[in-house]
Amino acid sequence: MAAPDASRTGGGKGTLAAPLAALMVLAGALSVAEDDRLTPYKDSAGIWTVCRGVTGPAVIPGKRYTPEECAVLNNAAMHKHTDGIARCINRPLQWYEWVAWGHFTYNVGVSGFCNSAAARHLRAGNSDAACAQIPSWRFITVGGAKRDCRDRSWNCYGIVQRREWEMSMCRGDIPASNYPDIEAWLKEPA
């Protein structure tokens, strides 16, 4: 596949850490993909979740979180995931790659991402092959059994749609002009 059109993606300004503008786009994308739910619930895979998809020890079943608590948890989770990407990839990524892989990793976890074929391709410098791996992450595990989310009866088809968006973003198919903060960052001197 050819490199993304620089007029659509903003050119070749890659960074070793997610730029603030990419984090802002990622935060906005996560707010669309993940509802800010103040009461913990079990997601489609049975994992306790709160706010915008936050999992782990911060989730206390039965507790009602405030919007302020969710803002803190959401921000911490986003940074945890992008920092994890930086540690395991350790090479510059384009802003759209930061957004795509941050969105992906927020869903599958740092360990899932870092141990994936996609991460191996990124470390080897093959972004196209890495992006092509995204649709294969369309499964959830319920009761020890893998469920393909293309089957709408499993009530997880949103993962398939999420992967389609992530793959488009990863390939630079979504124009930078959709994101004014990115456009401003791309115009800054290197």
- The tens digit of pLDDT for each residue in 35-46 reads 789 999 998 788
Residue 50 has pLDDT above 60, yes or no: yes
Contact predicate 59/48, CB 8 Å: yes
C-alpha 49/C-alpha 141 separation (Å) is 15
List, as one string, the DSSP characters of 77-146: HHHHHHHHHHHHH-S-B-HHHHHHHHHHHHHH-HHHHHTSHHHHHHHTT-HHHHHHHGGG--EEEETTEE
C-alpha 126/C-alpha 25 separation (Å) is 24
Predicted confidence band at 4 (pLDDT cuts at 50, 70, 90)?
Answer: very low
Contact predicate 100/131, CB 8 Å: yes
Active site residue 34: yes
Active site residue 43: yes
Q: Which of 36, 43, 69, 183 is catalytic?
A: 43
C-alpha 4/C-alpha 138 separation (Å) is 25
Residue 178 has pLDDT above 60, yes or no: yes
Nearest to residue 20, comparing CAs of 188, 185, 177, 187? 185
C-alpha 158/C-alpha 152 separation (Å) is 9
Chain segment 138-166, per-residue pLDDT in tens: 999 888 999 999 999 998 898 999 999 99
C-alpha 89/C-alpha 69 separation (Å) is 30
Contact predicate 143/159, CB 8 Å: no
Please tell me the pTM assigned to this model.
Answer: 0.81
Contacts of 103 (CB under 8 A, 6+ apart): 26, 29, 30, 33, 162, 165, 166, 169
